[in-house]
Protein backbone atom coordinates (compact mmCIF):
# COMPACT_ATOMS: atom_id res chain seq x y z
CA UNK A 1 0.00 0.00 0.00
CA UNK A 2 2.84 2.38 0.87
CA UNK A 3 4.61 1.59 -2.44
CA UNK A 4 1.41 2.30 -4.41
CA UNK A 5 0.85 5.60 -2.61
CA UNK A 6 4.47 6.64 -3.22
CA UNK A 7 4.18 5.78 -6.91
CA UNK A 8 0.97 7.81 -7.16
CA UNK A 9 2.64 10.84 -5.58
CA UNK A 10 5.56 10.52 -7.99
CA UNK A 11 3.26 10.32 -11.01
CA UNK A 12 1.32 13.35 -9.82
CA UNK A 13 4.54 15.33 -9.30
CA UNK A 14 5.78 14.33 -12.75
CA UNK A 15 2.50 15.47 -14.31
CA UNK A 16 2.82 18.85 -12.59
CA UNK A 17 6.39 19.24 -13.88
CA UNK A 18 5.32 18.38 -17.45
CA UNK A 19 2.42 20.83 -17.27
CA UNK A 20 4.72 23.57 -15.97
CA UNK A 21 7.20 22.92 -18.80
CA UNK A 22 4.41 23.03 -21.37
CA UNK A 23 3.18 26.33 -19.94
CA UNK A 24 6.70 27.74 -20.09
CA UNK A 25 7.06 26.59 -23.70
CA UNK A 26 3.80 28.28 -24.64
CA UNK A 27 4.87 31.51 -22.93
CA UNK A 28 8.18 31.48 -24.80
CA UNK A 29 6.58 30.94 -28.23
CA UNK A 30 8.55 33.02 -30.78
CA UNK A 31 6.69 36.24 -31.54
CA UNK A 32 7.98 39.72 -32.37
CA UNK A 33 6.69 40.97 -29.02
CA UNK A 34 8.50 38.17 -27.14
CA UNK A 35 11.83 38.87 -28.81
CA UNK A 36 11.59 36.61 -31.87
CA UNK A 37 12.91 37.80 -35.24
CA UNK A 38 10.94 40.66 -36.71
CA UNK A 39 10.64 40.89 -40.48
CA UNK A 40 9.79 44.19 -42.18
CA UNK A 41 8.93 44.62 -45.85
CA UNK A 42 9.85 47.99 -47.35
CA UNK A 43 8.30 48.79 -50.76
CA UNK A 44 10.17 51.75 -52.28
CA UNK A 45 8.87 53.66 -55.30
CA UNK A 46 12.09 53.87 -57.34
CA UNK A 47 15.85 53.61 -56.89
CA UNK A 48 16.28 55.83 -59.95
CA UNK A 49 16.17 58.76 -57.52
CA UNK A 50 19.11 59.29 -55.13
CA UNK A 51 16.68 60.40 -52.44
CA UNK A 52 15.09 56.95 -52.23
CA UNK A 53 18.46 55.20 -52.28
CA UNK A 54 19.45 57.25 -49.22
CA UNK A 55 16.06 56.51 -47.66
CA UNK A 56 16.71 52.78 -48.08
CA UNK A 57 20.27 53.10 -46.72
CA UNK A 58 18.97 54.77 -43.56
CA UNK A 59 16.36 52.05 -43.10
CA UNK A 60 18.90 49.25 -43.60
CA UNK A 61 21.32 50.77 -41.09
CA UNK A 62 18.53 51.05 -38.52
CA UNK A 63 17.43 47.45 -39.18
CA UNK A 64 21.01 46.23 -38.59
CA UNK A 65 21.16 48.18 -35.32
CA UNK A 66 17.81 46.76 -34.19
CA UNK A 67 18.64 43.19 -35.23
CA UNK A 68 15.60 42.84 -37.48
CA UNK A 69 15.26 41.57 -41.02
CA UNK A 70 14.46 44.21 -43.66
CA UNK A 71 13.32 43.14 -47.13
CA UNK A 72 13.52 46.03 -49.61
CA UNK A 73 11.79 46.09 -53.00
CA UNK A 74 12.21 48.60 -55.83
CA UNK A 75 9.09 49.27 -57.92
CA UNK A 76 11.01 51.19 -60.59
CA UNK A 77 8.31 53.86 -60.59
CA UNK A 78 5.57 51.41 -61.63
CA UNK A 79 2.45 51.19 -59.44
CA UNK A 80 1.48 47.72 -60.70
CA UNK A 81 4.93 46.36 -59.88
CA UNK A 82 4.70 47.81 -56.40
CA UNK A 83 1.28 46.23 -55.86
CA UNK A 84 2.77 42.83 -56.75
CA UNK A 85 5.69 43.40 -54.39
CA UNK A 86 3.35 44.23 -51.51
CA UNK A 87 1.36 41.09 -52.31
CA UNK A 88 4.62 39.12 -51.96
CA UNK A 89 5.21 40.69 -48.54
CA UNK A 90 1.73 39.62 -47.48
CA UNK A 91 2.36 36.07 -48.72
CA UNK A 92 5.63 35.99 -46.77
CA UNK A 93 3.69 37.06 -43.66
CA UNK A 94 6.08 39.87 -42.74
CA UNK A 95 5.38 41.54 -39.40
CA UNK A 96 5.10 45.11 -40.74
CA UNK A 97 4.95 46.64 -44.22
CA UNK A 98 6.53 50.05 -44.86
CA UNK A 99 5.34 51.78 -48.02
CA UNK A 100 6.86 54.57 -50.08
CA UNK A 101 4.09 54.65 -52.71
CA UNK A 102 4.61 55.16 -56.42
CA UNK A 103 1.08 56.55 -56.46
CA UNK A 104 -0.88 57.53 -53.34
CA UNK A 105 -4.21 56.54 -54.93
CA UNK A 106 -3.09 53.29 -56.58
CA UNK A 107 -1.53 51.99 -53.36
CA UNK A 108 -4.86 52.01 -51.49
CA UNK A 109 -5.79 48.48 -52.63
CA UNK A 110 -2.45 47.19 -51.32
CA UNK A 111 -2.93 48.91 -47.97
CA UNK A 112 -6.38 47.38 -47.67
CA UNK A 113 -5.01 43.93 -48.57
CA UNK A 114 -2.42 44.23 -45.80
CA UNK A 115 -5.16 45.39 -43.41
CA UNK A 116 -7.22 42.30 -44.27
CA UNK A 117 -4.18 40.09 -43.59
CA UNK A 118 -3.64 41.73 -40.22
CA UNK A 119 -0.28 43.25 -41.18
CA UNK A 120 0.31 46.83 -39.92
CA UNK A 121 1.22 49.42 -42.56
CA UNK A 122 3.50 52.45 -42.23
CA UNK A 123 3.88 55.03 -45.01
CA UNK A 124 7.17 56.83 -45.59
CA UNK A 125 7.68 60.17 -47.39
CA UNK A 126 4.54 59.68 -49.48
CA UNK A 127 1.16 58.88 -47.98
CA UNK A 128 -1.70 56.61 -49.04
CA UNK A 129 -5.11 58.04 -49.98
CA UNK A 130 -6.99 55.30 -48.14
CA UNK A 131 -6.77 52.15 -46.06
CA UNK A 132 -5.59 51.95 -42.45
CA UNK A 133 -2.07 53.29 -41.84
CA UNK A 134 -0.71 53.16 -38.29
CA UNK A 135 1.91 55.87 -38.83
CA UNK A 136 3.13 58.25 -41.54
CA UNK A 137 6.76 59.39 -41.45
CA UNK A 138 7.54 62.33 -43.71
CA UNK A 139 8.82 65.85 -44.03
CA UNK A 140 6.30 68.65 -43.88
CA UNK A 141 6.09 68.98 -47.65
CA UNK A 142 3.61 71.84 -47.48
CA UNK A 143 5.97 73.88 -45.31
CA UNK A 144 8.85 72.94 -47.62
CA UNK A 145 6.95 74.14 -50.69
CA UNK A 146 6.15 77.41 -48.97
CA UNK A 147 9.74 77.91 -47.87
CA UNK A 148 11.03 77.17 -51.36
CA UNK A 149 8.59 79.67 -52.86
CA UNK A 150 9.43 82.42 -50.42
CA UNK A 151 13.15 81.96 -51.06
CA UNK A 152 12.65 81.93 -54.84
CA UNK A 153 10.61 85.14 -54.75
CA UNK A 154 13.26 86.80 -52.60
CA UNK A 155 16.00 85.76 -55.04
CA UNK A 156 14.24 87.33 -58.03
CA UNK A 157 13.89 90.61 -56.16
CA UNK A 158 10.39 90.30 -54.73
CA UNK A 159 8.63 90.66 -58.07
CA UNK A 160 8.59 88.91 -61.42
CA UNK A 161 7.40 85.75 -63.12
CA UNK A 162 7.97 82.09 -62.25
CA UNK A 163 7.45 78.58 -63.62
CA UNK A 164 6.66 75.38 -61.72
CA UNK A 165 7.63 71.77 -62.48
CA UNK A 166 5.25 69.40 -60.72
CA UNK A 167 5.93 65.86 -59.49
CA UNK A 168 4.02 62.67 -60.23
CA UNK A 169 0.30 63.40 -60.21
CA UNK A 170 -1.48 61.48 -57.47
CA UNK A 171 1.44 61.45 -55.03
CA UNK A 172 1.12 63.20 -51.70
CA UNK A 173 4.58 64.75 -52.13
CA UNK A 174 3.63 66.51 -55.37
CA UNK A 175 0.27 67.57 -53.99
CA UNK A 176 1.69 68.95 -50.73
CA UNK A 177 4.72 70.68 -52.23
CA UNK A 178 2.47 72.29 -54.82
CA UNK A 179 0.04 73.40 -52.10
CA UNK A 180 2.88 74.95 -50.12
CA UNK A 181 4.18 76.79 -53.17
CA UNK A 182 0.65 78.04 -53.84
CA UNK A 183 0.49 79.38 -50.28
CA UNK A 184 3.67 81.36 -50.93
CA UNK A 185 2.18 82.68 -54.19
CA UNK A 186 -1.06 83.70 -52.48
CA UNK A 187 0.87 85.63 -49.85
CA UNK A 188 3.17 87.36 -52.33
CA UNK A 189 2.60 90.57 -54.22
CA UNK A 190 4.17 91.25 -57.58
CA UNK A 191 4.77 87.56 -58.35
CA UNK A 192 3.04 85.82 -61.26
CA UNK A 193 3.23 82.14 -62.12
CA UNK A 194 3.26 81.88 -65.89
CA UNK A 195 2.83 78.11 -66.17
CA UNK A 196 3.09 74.82 -64.32
CA UNK A 197 3.43 71.33 -65.76
CA UNK A 198 4.28 67.87 -64.49
CA UNK A 199 7.68 66.33 -65.23
CA UNK A 200 7.05 63.26 -63.04
CA UNK A 201 10.00 63.78 -60.70
CA UNK A 202 12.34 62.73 -63.55
CA UNK A 203 15.46 64.58 -64.75
CA UNK A 204 14.97 63.82 -68.45
CA UNK A 205 11.36 64.99 -68.31
CA UNK A 206 12.44 68.04 -66.30
CA UNK A 207 14.79 68.92 -69.16
CA UNK A 208 12.12 68.49 -71.85
CA UNK A 209 9.32 70.24 -69.98
CA UNK A 210 11.56 73.11 -68.91
CA UNK A 211 12.73 73.58 -72.50
CA UNK A 212 9.14 73.84 -73.66
CA UNK A 213 8.17 76.21 -70.87
CA UNK A 214 11.16 78.46 -71.50
CA UNK A 215 10.40 78.59 -75.21
CA UNK A 216 6.85 79.68 -74.41
CA UNK A 217 7.95 82.00 -71.58
CA UNK A 218 11.47 83.22 -72.46
CA UNK A 219 11.37 86.05 -69.91
CA UNK A 220 10.53 83.96 -66.83
CA UNK A 221 12.64 85.00 -63.84
CA UNK A 222 12.53 81.87 -61.73
CA UNK A 223 11.53 78.20 -61.56
CA UNK A 224 10.50 75.93 -58.70
CA UNK A 225 10.73 72.16 -59.19
CA UNK A 226 9.07 69.69 -56.81
CA UNK A 227 12.31 67.68 -56.65
CA UNK A 228 15.97 68.08 -57.49
CA UNK A 229 15.99 65.72 -60.46
CA UNK A 230 13.53 67.97 -62.29
CA UNK A 231 15.42 71.05 -61.11
CA UNK A 232 18.66 69.65 -62.55
CA UNK A 233 16.86 68.98 -65.83
CA UNK A 234 15.77 72.62 -65.76
CA UNK A 235 19.39 73.67 -65.19
CA UNK A 236 20.32 71.95 -68.46
CA UNK A 237 17.38 73.53 -70.27
CA UNK A 238 18.28 77.00 -68.98
CA UNK A 239 21.90 76.59 -70.09
CA UNK A 240 20.81 75.45 -73.55
CA UNK A 241 18.51 78.47 -73.82
CA UNK A 242 21.22 80.89 -72.70
CA UNK A 243 19.28 81.57 -69.50
CA UNK A 244 22.01 81.23 -66.92
CA UNK A 245 20.24 83.97 -64.99
CA UNK A 246 17.13 81.83 -64.39
CA UNK A 247 16.78 81.32 -60.62
CA UNK A 248 16.09 77.61 -59.94
CA UNK A 249 15.02 76.10 -56.63
CA UNK A 250 14.53 72.36 -56.05
CA UNK A 251 13.55 69.99 -53.27
CA UNK A 252 15.40 67.02 -51.64
CA UNK A 253 19.05 68.16 -51.29
CA UNK A 254 20.28 65.40 -53.61
CA UNK A 255 24.10 65.25 -54.03
CA UNK A 256 24.02 66.59 -57.61
CA UNK A 257 21.79 69.46 -56.53
CA UNK A 258 24.20 70.40 -53.76
CA UNK A 259 26.98 70.51 -56.36
CA UNK A 260 24.76 72.71 -58.55
CA UNK A 261 24.19 75.10 -55.65
CA UNK A 262 27.91 75.13 -54.99
CA UNK A 263 28.69 76.07 -58.60
CA UNK A 264 25.86 78.59 -58.78
CA UNK A 265 23.58 76.90 -61.34
CA UNK A 266 20.89 76.30 -58.70
CA UNK A 267 19.92 78.83 -56.05
CA UNK A 268 18.65 76.44 -53.40
CA UNK A 269 16.85 73.28 -52.38
CA UNK A 270 14.93 71.90 -49.41
CA UNK A 271 16.76 69.23 -47.40
CA UNK A 272 14.55 66.42 -46.12
CA UNK A 273 17.02 64.07 -44.38
CA UNK A 274 15.92 60.83 -46.09
CA UNK A 275 18.42 58.77 -44.09
CA UNK A 276 16.78 59.93 -40.84
CA UNK A 277 13.37 59.26 -42.37
CA UNK A 278 14.37 55.66 -43.12
CA UNK A 279 15.78 55.25 -39.63
CA UNK A 280 12.63 56.55 -37.96
CA UNK A 281 10.46 54.33 -40.17
CA UNK A 282 12.27 51.16 -39.04
CA UNK A 283 12.31 52.23 -35.39
CA UNK A 284 8.57 52.85 -35.62
CA UNK A 285 7.97 49.52 -37.37
CA UNK A 286 9.82 47.67 -34.60
CA UNK A 287 7.63 49.36 -31.97
CA UNK A 288 4.51 48.40 -33.92
CA UNK A 289 5.69 44.78 -34.21
CA UNK A 290 6.21 44.73 -30.45
CA UNK A 291 2.68 45.95 -29.82
CA UNK A 292 3.68 49.44 -28.71
CA UNK A 293 1.66 52.59 -29.42
CA UNK A 294 3.14 54.98 -32.01
CA UNK A 295 2.32 58.46 -33.24
CA UNK A 296 -0.01 58.63 -36.24
CA UNK A 297 2.23 61.25 -37.84
CA UNK A 298 5.98 61.62 -37.29
CA UNK A 299 7.48 64.76 -38.88
CA UNK A 300 11.09 64.99 -40.04
CA UNK A 301 12.71 68.41 -39.94
CA UNK A 302 13.35 70.25 -43.23
CA UNK A 303 16.02 72.85 -43.94
CA UNK A 304 16.58 75.39 -46.71
CA UNK A 305 19.95 74.82 -48.39
CA UNK A 306 21.58 77.78 -50.15
CA UNK A 307 25.08 78.84 -51.11
CA UNK A 308 25.51 80.07 -47.53
CA UNK A 309 25.17 76.65 -45.89
CA UNK A 310 25.63 74.10 -48.69
CA UNK A 311 29.06 73.06 -47.39
CA UNK A 312 27.44 71.83 -44.18
CA UNK A 313 25.31 69.40 -46.19
CA UNK A 314 28.07 68.34 -48.56
CA UNK A 315 30.27 67.40 -45.62
Please tell me whether residues 150 and 265 are part of one structural domain: yes
Gyration radius (Cα) of the chain, Å = 26
- CB burial of 178-189 (b: ≥16 within 10 Å; e: otherwise) equals bebbbbbbeebe
Q: Residue 56 belongs to a domain with what CATH number?
A: 3.40.50.2300
Residue 32 lies inside a defined structural domain of this protein: no
pLDDT digits (tens, 9 = 90+) for 108-136: 999 999 999 999 999 999 999 999 999 99
Q: Could you tell me if 250 and 306 are in contact, meaning their C-beta atoms sit under 8 angstroms apart?
A: no
Domain boundaries, position 233: 141-272+308-314
Distance CA 293, CA 198 (A): 38
Please tell me whether residues 131 and 174 are part of one structural domain: no
Residue 33 lies inside a defined structural domain of this protein: no
Please tell me whether residues 225 and 266 are part of one structural domain: yes
Q: The whole model's pTM is what?
A: 0.72
pLDDT < 50 positions in the chain: 1-35
Q: What is the pLDDT of residue 312?
A: 94
Q: What is the pLDDT of residue 49?
A: 82
Distance CA 177, CA 273 (A): 16
Q: What is the pLDDT of residue 220?
A: 98
Q: What is the pLDDT of residue 36?
A: 58
Alpha carbons within 13 angstroms on the beta-carbon side of residue 115 total 11
Domain count, the chain: 2
Amino acid sequence: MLRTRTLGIAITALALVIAACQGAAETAAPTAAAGGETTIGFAISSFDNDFFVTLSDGAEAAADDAGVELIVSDAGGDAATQASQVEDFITQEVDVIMLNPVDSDAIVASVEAANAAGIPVITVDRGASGGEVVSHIASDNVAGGTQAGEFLFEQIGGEGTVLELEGVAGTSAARDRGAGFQEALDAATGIERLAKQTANFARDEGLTVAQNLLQANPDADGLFAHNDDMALGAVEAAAAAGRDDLVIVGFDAAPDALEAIKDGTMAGTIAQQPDLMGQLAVETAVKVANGEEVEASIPVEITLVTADNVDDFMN
